[in-house]
Chain A
Amino acid sequence: MLIYGLVNSAVLALMALGFNLTFGISGVANFTYGAIYVVAGFLAWSLINKFHLPYVVSAALTIVIIGVAGAYLYRFILKRIRGLVISEVIATFGIALILLELLRWAGFIGFNYSLPVFIDGSVEILGTYVDIQRLLVILLGIACISVLYLFTHHTKIGLAFRGIAQEEHTSLSLGINPDRIAALSMGFGSALGAFAAIVILPLGTITVDGGYDVLINALSVCIVGGLGSTFGVIIAAFIIGYAQTLTSMYISEHWVMIVSLLAILVILAVRPSGLLGHQKELEERV
């Protein structure tokens, strides 16, 4: 139970990181995120099974393609409506619908769409058998978070990211182009989504409806953790992850999604800026 909770938390953290990165930096609530996740899954699947590329190559290719596509999505569509909250939400949501329903229409439904695991087999930890893939999820989650931390604190682009997130006008006067950074952040966010898809999807099958679930999970983790705060996301992922695991074990599988909603409602009622949402002022959300 302890371990499955941990795995679940890592899964949630991975899902939420990309969304959180884009939102924290450019302020664009990327409702396309769930769709990007699913598209990445199918892209990797078709690269492996249709084009017969080796696994590592297709995984890397997927991440790059999705990242570039995300950046161009910002460059050509979202840039025009930056700052208009209603338009941003509607446009990204519309794009998500287009992608997901197009996939559904094209017939990507069924159980035969699943990605291969990295390493097959399972190990015994504390008396329970765990697939190696699940352990890898945890490890890669930790790795991803640390790389992200190093990236945002020690590289030029990363520092520009944080600059834009904190004070857009000042960074503009220091020669940082907000649109370029926002496009990059969208690209990085999408690439993280693709990465999460490739790591997590081998645990199950790729479904179109999964896109909506991923979006909801990412949203709830981000709201609970405080939008724009990476460590908030990690803590929230642990809270919601364990809560979901406990629920599915002791109550019923159906109630899992409801836990996320309850978490959101409680957090919003008690602490509207999220657990660790210092960066974004309270005023922005209430």
Chain B
Amino acid sequence: MEGYRKERIARGVKARSDDIYAVMSYREMWYLLFPRLVPVVGFTVVAFLLPEYWQKVVVTTCIFAMLAVSWDFLSSCGLLSLGQALFFGLGSYTAGILNHYFHLPIYVTIPAATLIGGFFSTLILLPVIRLRGIYFAMVTLILPVMLGRVIEATRVFGGTEGITGLSPFPNIWVQLAFVIAGMWVALFGLRRFIGSDYGLIFVSIRDNDRATMASGINIYAFKAQALFIGGCIGAFCGAFMTHSYMFTGMPVFAMEYSILPIAAAAMGGIGTLAGPLLGACILVPLSEFLREFGSLRIVFYGLILVVCVVALPEGIFHYLSRKYNEMERWVRLE
């Protein structure tokens, strides 16, 4: 295309600002609703129509999607976490303990574990909340490994064996409905939250924490809140998985729970919340196909991480939304 350049024009409905739309007709309403409604309805319908084995895969996908969304939320607040397994593990162990030692029913343990897990995640990370960037990343990388070691060393809560025989969900349909609802609530809730005036503070902490402090905002309090929100989502995933597998133990602190969400986010597009979800929906079923390769799967995640970060830093979601929201055409250079 010598002598031409590509011109990009935002569509009229989008032109005013990022989140204010001038909706004039049903066509424009559909234009806005389409990318939101179709995935929500489509995902749910497909999930319920699949055979049972793949429904379990859908549950796992939703769990990882939520972890990825919470990772992305934390990174939008400037908290780069390499240890989503910490949140996951804390939620999982809390649910397991409540169910095993206190014999609480499942509809109590999951909400309770969500809140308690989120609370403990915040509490554990509170001393290092002043850190940012790689320093925070280093600590979060170390923590889940350490907690695994502590449990191994002290032999509390079943030690290396873990806690087995926890109460299961009534059936797979309940599980599916529950986890899919949780995923959409987490995604759209966080999107709305980040878009609000309150959420703006979190984004400003990432963009320039000094300036935010200079504006008289206590950034540590806000970081703690971000951790609590992200931690709660992670803990919910952990609690849900625990009851789904009827087991909790040292594997819940495994590297996979930290790595896959990051890989999903890197693939889908960091900072969009919907992107990581999209990434998880691609990666988890894909890794199910790769199950026969065993531990080579983690190599594959690593490869995706590196390729996406280095070669495709934009991510799928940014690309798609650009194609959807902008018209492109070639114009002759003058």
Q: Which chain A residues have a beta carbon within 8 Å of chain B's beta carbons?
A: 29, 31, 77, 80-81, 84-91, 93-98, 101-102, 104-105, 212, 216, 219-220, 223, 252, 254-255, 257-258, 260-261, 264-265, 268-269, 272, 283-286
Q: Which residues of A contact B131 (CB under 8 A)?
A: 268, 272, 285-286
Question: What 16 additional pairs, Cβ within 8 angstroms, besides A97-B299, A212-B145, A257-B149?
Answer: A31-B141, A85-B80, A86-B75, A90-B262, A93-B82, A94-B263, A94-B306, A95-B302, A105-B296, A223-B138, A261-B142, A261-B146, A268-B130, A268-B131, A285-B131, A285-B133
Q: Are A258 and B153 in contact (CB under 8 A)?
A: yes
Query: Is B170 among interface residues, defined by CB-CB distance under 8 A?
Result: no
Query: Is B132 among interface residues, defined by CB-CB distance under 8 A?
Result: yes
Q: List 18 A-B contacts (CB under 8 A).
A: A77-B310, A80-B310, A87-B313, A90-B266, A91-B305, A94-B303, A97-B259, A97-B301, A97-B302, A98-B306, A101-B299, A105-B293, A212-B145, A258-B150, A268-B128, A269-B127, A285-B133, A286-B130
| Residue picked from B137, B263, B270, B301, most chain A C-beta under 10 Å | B137
Q: Are A258 and B146 in contact (CB under 8 A)?
A: yes
Q: Which residues of A contact B134 (CB under 8 A)?
A: 29, 85, 88-89
Instruction: Among A97, A257, A268, A284, point to the contact of B127 (Cβ < 8 A).
Output: A268
Q: Are A268 and B137 in contact (CB under 8 A)?
A: no
* A87 vs B266: C-alpha distance when bound (angstroms): 9
Q: Which residues of B contact A94 (CB under 8 A)?
A: 263, 301-306, 309
Q: Which residues of A contact B82 (CB under 8 A)?
A: 89, 93
Q: Are B299 and A216 in contact (CB under 8 A)?
A: no
Q: With contacts A269-B127, A285-B132 known, is A91 near B149, CB below 8 A?
A: no
* A212 vs B304: C-alpha distance when bound (angstroms): 20
Query: Is B152 among interface residues, defined by CB-CB distance under 8 A?
Result: yes
Q: Which residues of B contact A29 (CB under 8 A)?
A: 134, 137-138
Query: Is B98 among interface residues, defined by CB-CB distance under 8 A?
Result: no
Q: Which residues of B contact A95 (CB under 8 A)?
A: 302, 306
Please classify the interface of chain B as helix (H, G, I), strand (E, B), loop, or mixed, using the class held by over half of its residues. Answer: helix
* A85 vs B131: C-alpha distance when bound (angstroms): 14
Q: Are B309 and A81 in contact (CB under 8 A)?
A: yes
Q: Which residues of A contact B75 (CB under 8 A)?
A: 86
Across the interface, name the chain B residue whose C-beta is closest to A282.
Answer: B130
Q: Which residues of B contact A93 (CB under 8 A)?
A: 82, 141, 305
Query: Is B13 among interface residues, defined by CB-CB distance under 8 A?
Result: no
Q: Which chain B residues have a beta carbon within 8 Å of chain A's beta carbons?
A: 75, 80, 82, 127-128, 130-135, 137-139, 141-143, 145-146, 149-150, 152-154, 210, 255, 259, 262-263, 266, 270, 293-296, 298-299, 301-306, 309-310, 313
Q: Are B306 and A77 in contact (CB under 8 A)?
A: yes
Q: With contacts A91-B305, A94-B302, A101-B299 known, is A252 near B132, CB below 8 A?
A: no
* A138 vs B236: C-alpha distance when bound (angstroms): 48
B236 to chain A, nearest CB (A): 24
* A216 vs B83: C-alpha distance when bound (angstroms): 13
* A285 vs B137: C-alpha distance when bound (angstroms): 11
Please classify the interface of chain A as helix (H, G, I), strand (E, B), loop, or mixed, using the class held by over half of its residues. Answer: helix
* A85 vs B312: C-alpha distance when bound (angstroms): 16
B45 to chain A, nearest CB (A): 34
Q: Are B306 and A91 in contact (CB under 8 A)?
A: yes
B249 to chain A, nearest CB (A): 16
Q: Are B298 and A97 in contact (CB under 8 A)?
A: yes
Across the interface, name the chain A residue whose C-beta is closest to B124.
Answer: A265
Q: Are B135 and A223 in contact (CB under 8 A)?
A: yes
* A284 vs B135: C-alpha distance when bound (angstroms): 9
Q: Which residues of B contact A90 (CB under 8 A)?
A: 262, 266, 305, 309
Q: Are B306 and A86 in contact (CB under 8 A)?
A: no
Q: Are A254 and B310 in contact (CB under 8 A)?
A: no
B271 to chain A, nearest CB (A): 10
Q: Which residues of A contact B150 (CB under 8 A)?
A: 258
Q: Which residues of A contact B266 (CB under 8 A)?
A: 90
Instruction: Among B149, B296, B305, point to the contact of A101 (Cβ < 8 A).
Output: B296
Closest 5 CB pairs of A and B: A254-B153, A94-B305, A97-B302, A98-B302, A101-B298
B77 to chain A, nearest CB (A): 12
* A31 vs B255: C-alpha distance when bound (angstroms): 14
Q: With contacts A86-B80, A101-B295, A258-B146 known, is A91 near B309, CB below 8 A?
A: yes
Q: Which residues of A contact B299 (CB under 8 A)?
A: 97-98, 101-102, 105
Q: With contacts A98-B299, A105-B296, A285-B133 known, is A86 near B270, CB below 8 A?
A: yes
Q: Which residues of A contact B301 (CB under 8 A)?
A: 94, 97
* A208 vs B25: C-alpha distance when bound (angstroms): 61
B209 to chain A, nearest CB (A): 9
Q: With contacts A95-B302, A258-B149, A268-B128 known, is A219 near B309, CB below 8 A?
A: no
Across the interface, name the chain B residue whose C-beta is closest to A272.
Answer: B130
| Residue picked from B138, B152, B255, most chain A C-beta under 10 Å | B138
Q: Are B145 and A216 in contact (CB under 8 A)?
A: yes
* A68 vs B152: C-alpha distance when bound (angstroms): 39
B115 to chain A, nearest CB (A): 24
